[in-house]
Structure 1
Amino acid sequence: MLTAKSLFQEILDHDESFRLFCSIAASGETQGGWENGRIAALVPESQRAMARKIARHGADEEKHGRIFNALLRRRGLQAVAVPAAADYTMLLERRGIGLAHEKLQRDEPLTETDIVAYLAHSRITEERAAAQMGLLQKHFGDHPEVGKAVRMIARDEDNHLAYCHEELLRLSGAGYAEEIRRALREGVQAEIAVHRDVSLAVMERMGHILRWPRAKRALLTAGIHALYAYEQAYGWRRMVSLRMPERRDALGGPAPAAPEFA
């Protein structure tokens, strides 16, 4: 039976598919770490209290990149280049979502509007990340090879999502409610389209590596398109709603070390 668990088990069991999966994950997390680090350095004076939390977010993402690279090393594998069609972070930037790298590379303070754009982008993408890691934790949280890494990253992603909710609600109460609502609505439509395109690209590459039959590829393609249709019609709402999290000040402390993976 074709399930999320059986698909990931196939990927996990084959060195080349596992190599591609970890390479894509490591690249995205490392890129996110750099972006958050730059944002923390450029936070406007009016929002300096956020800098420590943004830096913690970046440190977590960098840690995740090291974890995925460490999983590769344990198998004696090296990372491969991420196909352009599977580069989730860069595809979102090309659609104008979040803060452009060109802006982050300059040593000019960001504006409060930039911070709203950053948090709205993060709220959407962290929803996706938390859901994906939650699914992996459900099925592979006790796996002897990847279980510890999955549990650690899933916990961090839940913290990141909680932080985004709390900070966006704070800014909403400070007069940015309409700007936040607009940024979330625009961002989510771009994200669900990019997620569909990246999913199709990764599925195509995995299918080639694992020699999936045509019928299996067709079924997976149909499933990806069905998910996109659902998210475009209804599912996007869960990615833009805001609620005060049970876990308050989730990024208020230093990032926990992960020496066993670094």
Structure 2
Amino acid sequence: MLSARSLFQEILDHDESYRLFCSIAASGEAQGGWENGRIAALVPASQRALAPKVARHGADEDKHGRLFNALLRKRGLQPATVPEETDYTALLERRGIGLAHDKLRRDEPLTEQDVVTYLAHSRVTEQRAAGQMDLLKKYFGGHPEIGRAILMIAADEENHLAYCHEELLRLAEQGHGPAIRRALRDCALAEAVVYRDVSLAVMAHMGRILGWPRAKSAVLAAGIRAVYAYERLAGWRRMVTLRTPERRDALGGPAASAPEFV
């Protein structure tokens, strides 16, 4: 029977599929670390109190990238080249979601609207990341090879999501509510498309590596498209709601290290 647990176990048990999975994850996290680092350096004067939290967010993402690369090294594997069609972060940027890398490479202060754009993008993508890590934590949190890294990353993703909620609510109180609602909706709808396309691409690559029969690949692709149809219809709303988080000031301190891995 097909299940999230059995599929990931199959990927985990095969060196080449595991190599691709960890390489895609490491690349995305490293890219997120760079983006947050640049945003922290360019935060406008009116939002300077936000800069240390953005920097902490970036440090966490960098750590996650190192964790995935450490998992590869533990198995004696080298990172794989990440196929363009599986690059979630780059595909989001191509759709105009988040802050463009060209803007981040310039040494020009961001605007408050840029901060809204950044936080809305982060709120949506961190919701996705937190959901994925919750699933992995459920099935593999106790795994001897990957369990500790999964638990570390899952805890960080919960902090990131809490931080996004808290900061967006703070900006809404400062009069940015309409801009936040627009940015969240636009980002959520575009992210659903990108997530569908990346999921289909990743499953296609995994299917080729693992030799899945055509029927199995077809069932998985249909499932991915069904999830997208639901998200397009109504599921996107869970990505745009804001609530006061239980964890307050979740990124208010330094990033936790992972000495056993890096």
TM-score (norm 1): 1.00
1:259, CA displacement in angstroms? 1.0
Asked if 1:27 corresponds to 2:27, the answer is yes
Which residue is 1:210 aligned to? 210
Where 2:242 maps in the other structure, the secondary structure is coil
What is the aligned residue count?
A: 262
Which residue is 1:244 aligned to? 244
Which residue is 1:136 aligned to? 136
Using the alignment, how far apart are the partners of 2:122 and 2:260 within structure 1?
A: 28
Which residue is 1:121 aligned to? 121
Structure 1 vs Structure 2: percent identity of aligned residues? Answer: 74
Gaps of 5+ in 1: none
Deviations 1:82-105 (A, max 9, x none): 100000000000000000000000
1:261, CA displacement in angstroms? 1.1
Using the alignment, how far apart are the partners of 1:74 and 1:185 within structure 2?
A: 41
Q: Structure 1 counterpart of 2:28, which letter?
A: G
1:138, CA displacement in angstroms? 0.2
Q: Structure 1 counterpart of 2:229, which letter?
A: A
Structure 1 runs of 4+ aligned residues shifted over 6 Å read none
1:123, CA displacement in angstroms? 0.1
Using the alignment, how far apart are the partners of 2:94 and 2:213 within structure 1?
A: 33
Which residue is 2:110 aligned to? 110
Deviations 1:23-62 (A, max 9, x none): 0000000000000000000000000000000000000000
Using the alignment, how far apart are the partners of 2:183 and 2:160 within structure 1?
A: 18
Asked if 1:89 corresponds to 2:89, the answer is yes
Which residue is 1:65 aligned to? 65
Using the alignment, how far apart are the partners of 1:155 and 1:135 within structure 2?
A: 13
Q: Structure 2 counterpart of 1:51, which letter?
A: A
Using the alignment, how far apart are the partners of 2:259 and 2:147 within structure 1?
A: 16
1:202, CA displacement in angstroms? 0.2
1:81, CA displacement in angstroms? 1.1
Using the alignment, how far apart are the partners of 1:136 and 1:201 within structure 2?
A: 20
Where 2:149 maps in the other structure, the secondary structure is helix
TM-score (norm 2): 1.00
Using the alignment, how far apart are the partners of 1:234 and 1:168 within structure 2?
A: 22
Using the alignment, how far apart are the partners of 1:261 and 1:103 within structure 2?
A: 33
Deviations 1:123-181 (A, max 9, x none): 00000000000000000000000000000000000000000000000000100000000
Using the alignment, how far apart are the partners of 1:140 and 1:258 within structure 2?
A: 18
Using the alignment, how far apart are the partners of 2:168 and 2:82 within structure 1?
A: 32
Q: Structure 2 counterpart of 1:110, which letter?
A: L
- CA RMSD across the alignment: 0.3
Which residue is 1:170 aligned to? 170
Deviations 1:8-29 (A, max 9, x none): 0000000000000000000000
Where 1:205 maps in the other structure, the secondary structure is helix
Gaps of 5+ in 2: none
Using the alignment, how far apart are the partners of 1:80 and 1:11 within structure 2?
A: 15
Q: Structure 1 counterpart of 2:226, which letter?
A: A
1:69, CA displacement in angstroms? 0.1
1:218, CA displacement in angstroms? 0.5
Asked if 1:223 corresponds to 2:235, the answer is no
Query: Superposed, which structure 2 residues align to 1:153-192 within 5 Å?
Result: 153-192=153-192
Q: Structure 1 counterpart of 2:233, which letter?
A: A
